[in-house]
Amino acid sequence: MVAGGMRGITAMLYETSLLDAEEGIRFRGRAIPELREKLPKARGGEEPLPEGIMWLMLTGEIPSEAQVRTLSAELAARAEVPKAVFDALDALPKNAHPMTQLSVALMAMQPESKFAKAYQDGAHKTTFWEHAFEDSMDIIARLPAVCAAIYRRTFKDGTLVAADASLDWAANFAHMMGHDSEAVKELMRLYMTIHVDHEGGNVSAHATHLVGSALSDPYLSLVAGLNGLAGPLHGLANQEVLKWLNETREKVGDNATKEELTEFVWATLKSGRVVPGYGHGVLRKTDPRYTCQREFALKHLPDDPMFKLVGKLFEVVPGVLTETGKVKNPWPNVDAHSGVLLQYYGITEANFYTVLFGASRAIGVLSQLTLSRGSGYPIERPKSVTSQWIEEKFGKV
């Protein structure tokens, strides 16, 4: 287990969500279909507001509509981004990956950390969670404007769109990116709700948790997690999926037979690459986050050729991956579907997708960070051994 990426080792306390290998993720014990139904919605909308899942993760309770609106207003009131962030972004080359830009932007905000200041001022450890919460609220509040600025300077003409404080957090995010239709806002609400958290052991959550355990402030901790999310086997897979789908389409066209698709999937594997969007370290069934995005697509874009391609690949890829004899989970994960929804609404810039994932993931990992400081968890410091030690103890493996 130690040599195999620690798979199956139970090693952390993590309250905000729990992953069942067969059923998928549950947030405070509640599955995605239940949350889609019960969490408060925007007026006239059908998808949950991410503010609602944030409330649920922090308190364990489904919020009322009034509570969610209060939280939206509180986030809007904290949303102003310090000038240092834009200066730091301007100092980066235009071709810096959007995840690099996000990391740098958050580091440029770190001097404002209330947690770091309180610690330097001698705060009592029983109050750490309050300062972690304050930083978490500030970061989450500012993320839409920061991410939208990264989007517009990288892919548009660089002009920024002013925030609309009357909108909810996710709708305002879409608005500041320059995407204003109701449909995009609904997609953003769903997207930002389902990417928040995936229990504690995944790279982004674990990295945030680990760095936070050293009492590094929430800015430093979150950036550690986001830098992990930027890896192609984790969050960056969503960008890889869209590129791979485009490649597939170019190669086999829109009316490919199952045989042609099967051949293309094998060609990907034989070239020494993974099939992005498939497989998982813990899950052993189709990801419910994939399923709910498929439901969204069936409702809003049933005839989109890219959506149809995703559906056809679902019929082919699991069989191929199973045939390799080594893939433990041949089923699609969250990343197999998200890009197709975004591109349909004109967000075609795949290199930006992990930034969206990161903004959502921040809500989950910072909620847990606040709870972790409240629980007074100690610094993480697991034991490591050398391969020589293993050989001496157990013989050659």
Q: Interface with ligand CMX includes 385 (CB under 6 A)?
A: no
Our CB check for ligand CMX shows the closer of 67 and 351 to be 351
CA atoms within 13 A on the CB side of 370: 23
Q: Using the rule CB under 6 A, give the single segment among 91-99, 174-182, 304-312, 329-337 that binds ligand CMX.
A: 329-337
x-or-dash string of contact with ligand CMX, 74-103, rule CB under 6 A: ------------------------------
> Which residue, among 249, 253, 277, has the nearest Cα to 353 in the 3D structure?
277
CB of 276 to ligand CMX, least distance (A): 5
Q: How far is the CB of 212 from ligand CMX (least distance, A)?
A: 20
Which segment (49-57, 247-255, 277-285, 289-297) binds ligand CMX by CB under 6 A? 277-285
Binders of ligand CMX among residues 213 to 242 (CB under 6 A) are 233-235, 237
Q: Which is nearer to ligand CMX, 57 or 334 (CB)?
A: 334
User: Residue 278, SS3?
Assistant: strand
Contact pattern for ligand CMX over residues 334 through 373, marking x by CB under 6 A: xx--------------------------------------
When binding is defined by CB under 6 A, the residue of 276, 288, 358, 364 that contacts ligand CMX is 276
User: How many CB atoms are located within 10 Å of the residue 77 CB?
Assistant: 11
Q: Which residues of 253-286 are buried (b: 16+ CB within 10 A; e: fewer)?
A: eeebeeebbbebbeebeeeeebbbbbbbbbbeeb
Which of 84, 252, 274, 390 touches ligand CMX (CB under 6 A)? 274
Candidate segments 37-45, 61-69, 212-220, 271-279, binder of ligand CMX by CB under 6 A? 271-279
Tokens of 344: 């349909």
Q: How many CB atoms lie within 10 A of CB 378?
A: 7
Is 138 a catalytic site residue? Answer: no
State the minimum distance, in angstroms, from the CB of residue 282 to ligand CMX. Answer: 8
Residue bearing tokens 């490649």: 247
Pair 21, 283: CB distance under 8 Å: yes
Q: Which is nearer to ligand CMX, 40 or 364 (CB)?
A: 364
Determine the interface stretch with ligand CMX among 19-27, 112-120, 250-258, 328-336 (rule: CB under 6 A): 328-336
- C-beta of 274: minimal distance to ligand CMX in Å? 4
φ/ψ of 390, rounded to 5, equals -65, -45
- Is 280 a known active-site residue? yes
Q: Where are the alpha helices (DSSP H) in the chain?
A: 32-38, 50-59, 65-77, 83-90, 98-109, 114-120, 128-155, 169-177, 182-194, 203-213, 218-229, 237-252, 258-270, 288-300, 305-324, 335-344, 353-375, 387-394
DSSP-derived 3-state class of residue 27: strand
Asked if residues 222 and 139 have their Cβ atoms less than 8 Å apart, the reply is yes
Selected binder of ligand CMX within 114, 280, 289, 312 (CB under 6 A): 280
392 touches 228 (CB < 8 A): no
Does residue 281 interact with ligand CMX by CB under 6 A?
A: yes
Out of 195, 280, 287, 337, pick the active-site residue.
280
Residue 167 phi, psi dihedral angles, 5° rounding: -90, 155
| Distance (Å, whole) CA 293 – CA 183 | 14
Task: Tell me the closest approach of the beta carbon of residue 386 to ligand CMX, in angstroms.
Answer: 22
Which tokens in the block code for residue 22?
A: 């067969």
The contact pattern for ligand CMX, residues 167-206, with x = CB under 6 A and - = no contact, is -----------------------------------x----
Q: How far is the CB of 51 from ligand CMX (least distance, A)?
A: 23
The binder of ligand CMX chosen from 43, 83, 270, 326 (CB under 6 A): 326
Using the rule CB under 6 A, which residue among 16, 216, 333, 343 binds ligand CMX? 333
Residue for token digits 């972004």?
89
CA distance 385 to 1: 12
> With binding defined as CB under 6 A, does residue 270 bind ligand CMX?
no
Q: Is 97 a catalytic residue?
A: no
Q: Under the rule (CB under 6 A), what is the footprint of ligand CMX? A: 202, 233-235, 237, 269, 274-281, 321, 326-329, 333-335
**What is the set of active-site residues?**
234, 280, 335
